[in-house]
Chain A
């Protein structure tokens, strides 16, 4: 069975600083995708960034980047130049390229951003 673990229930960062959110996963699949989703207080889940497991290059989207370590099954999210609008719950998620094709989520990390 696939599992996703986020060991940091809460994190905080000062505006303009950098913060890293941790995620580890467990799977026997060789082909899969990893995602970070953001869920602000309005509650809509928004895709932040995605990583294909077959790609060695770490994904980057503007201020958001990942550190994907396939052998260690680690997938951390780095937020640079943090902004007040980054405050939200962040969920790490996994989907295997199999006949089930469903997202498995971690328990989330609540990020607070202080001015």
Chain B
């Protein structure tokens, strides 16, 4: 069990460029979540998947954001035409749906995005 891994850990991009983050969940976990966290705030929910199905998207997830989990394993979060307000840490997390761990969600180390 290597935990939730995210790549890249840091990304600096110019406003207007597209960026993509990748998340590899804990191997047996069928749920995968994306959160956004800005300095001094708690994480805010963006979206989550159960297997390959995207079950919920937050209103925070504008049309410029898209997330995929094509084979129910890793996931990507793409931000198109980045804006300075997109600067934040993007956290990925995973869990088992129900089961003995009872909705406990495990987080990766996050991907820092800075838009200049």
Binding site for B on A (CB under 8 A): 4, 33, 35, 37, 42-47, 50, 52, 91, 93, 95, 97, 99-108
Q: Which of A44, A100, A107 contacts B107 (CB 8 A)?
A: A44
Q: Which residue of B lies closest to A103 (CB)?
A: B105
Q: Do A95 and B105 have beta carbons less than 8 Å apart?
A: yes
- CB contacts (< 8 Å) of A35 on chain B: these are 104-105
Whether A102 lies near B33 (C-beta < 8 A) is: yes
Tally B residues with Cβ within 8 Å of A.
Answer: 25
Residue in B42, B45, B55, B97 whose Cβ sees the most chain A Cβ within 10 Å: B42
**Binary flags per residue of B16-43, CB closer than 8 Å to A gives 1, else 0:** 0000000000000001010100001111
Question: What are 5 inter-chain pairs, A to B, with CB distance below 8 A?
Answer: A45-B91, A47-B104, A47-B105, A97-B103, A102-B45
User: A43-B89, A52-B102 in contact; A101/B31 too (CB < 8 A)?
Assistant: yes
Contacts of B33 in A (CB 8 A): 102-103
- Give complex CA distance A112, B108 in Å: 24
B108 x A44 contact (CB < 8 A): yes
Given contacts A43-B110, A44-B109, 17 further A-B contacts (CB under 8 A): A33-B102, A37-B107, A42-B109, A44-B107, A44-B108, A45-B91, A45-B93, A45-B107, A47-B106, A91-B42, A93-B42, A95-B105, A97-B103, A102-B56, A103-B35, A103-B45, A107-B40
